[in-house]
Amino acid sequence: MEAQPHSTTWHVKTESGETTVAFDPATTSTARAVFVCAHGAGGHMEDRGVTRVSDTLRARGFHIVRFNFFYREEHSSHPDPMPLLEECFAGVVERTRQELAPDLLIMGGRSMGGRAASMLAADGFACDGLLLLAYPLHPAGRPEKLRDAHLPRIVVPVLCINGTRDPLCDRGLMEHTLTTVKAPWTMHWVNGADHSFHVLKSSGRNDVAVFEEIGDASEAWLTSRFGAGNRD
């Protein structure tokens, strides 16, 4: 897929709502995949976490499609029930296919957005892979409430990136959970990062370095799983 010339905005409407979608073209001369990226529960399509992911991955051959879930489009801070999140996500993916006709479409996003993508994929919604950023395996402080029942039903390749200080994803619990997963699942741990991928100053690293690591891991996964060549 050739790189597109400029960013554009779409509007997507389903039976239950409508929302705004932003398409950010890759900044390399040749794009290798489209990543439909959803925001987390407290975020939105223009928040710093989402736009930083977009900027990072665009430089590594990904077209990015960002969007608001219905509740954020309506300026609410209360997330929709999962069926509505999935309906919105599915509508955006369908519109993306109409607009871009991608050869390779990856779904995912931050935290709750990535979880919604994983549940769609587990139910058989078509995509080529999942890119999950800060997957919320359990609520903070409640590791007994695992959000893992659907994960064994996923069949597409997965890249999941979490920080080792993420209070919503205990590393030991995640690694145990992955023993039940049959999909090609690549787990990348960002040492010292929290749920927002922030690291302590004492680590000697900063957010720029962390997102470079996230970008490198994503590019390496794209190449190893899908045979995409090196960026220009």
Of 78, 77, 63, the closest CA to residue 22 belongs to 63
Nearest to 181 by CA among 146, 208, 205: 146
Q: Domain for residue 231, yes or no?
A: no
> What's the whole-model pTM score?
0.94
**What would the mean pLDDT of 23-37 be, rounded to a whole number?**
93
Residue 127 belongs to some domain of the structure = yes
User: Which DSSP symbol is given to 50?
Assistant: H
- Assigned domain for 12 exists: yes
**Would you say residue 27 lies in a domain?**
yes
Q: So what's the pLDDT on residue 216?
A: 97
Q: In which band, very low, low, confident or very high, does the pLDDT at 90 lie, cut at 50, 70 and 90?
A: very high
User: Averaged over 102-123, what is the pLDDT?
Assistant: 98
User: Would residue 3 count as lying in a domain?
Assistant: no
CATH of the domain at 28: 3.40.50.1820
**What is the pLDDT at residue 231?**
42
Number of domains forming the structure of the chain: 1
Enclosing domain of residue 127? 8-226
In tens, the pLDDT along 155-197 reads 999 999 999 999 999 999 999 999 999 999 999 999 999 999 9
**Alpha helices, DSSP H only, in the chain?**
48-58, 70-73, 82-100, 112-122, 171-177, 207-226
15/166 Cα distance (integer angstroms): 36
Rg, Å, the chain Cα set: 16
**What are the tens digits of pLDDT across the range 209-227?**
999 999 999 999 999 999 8
Asked if the model's pLDDT at residue 101 lies above 80, the reply is yes
Tell me if 1 is assigned to some domain: no
- Judge whether residue 232 has pLDDT over 50: no
Q: What is the mean pLDDT of the chain?
A: 94
Residue 161 lies in a domain: yes
User: In this model, does residue 4 exceed pLDDT 90?
Assistant: no
Sorting pLDDT into bands at 50, 70 and 90, what band is 5? low
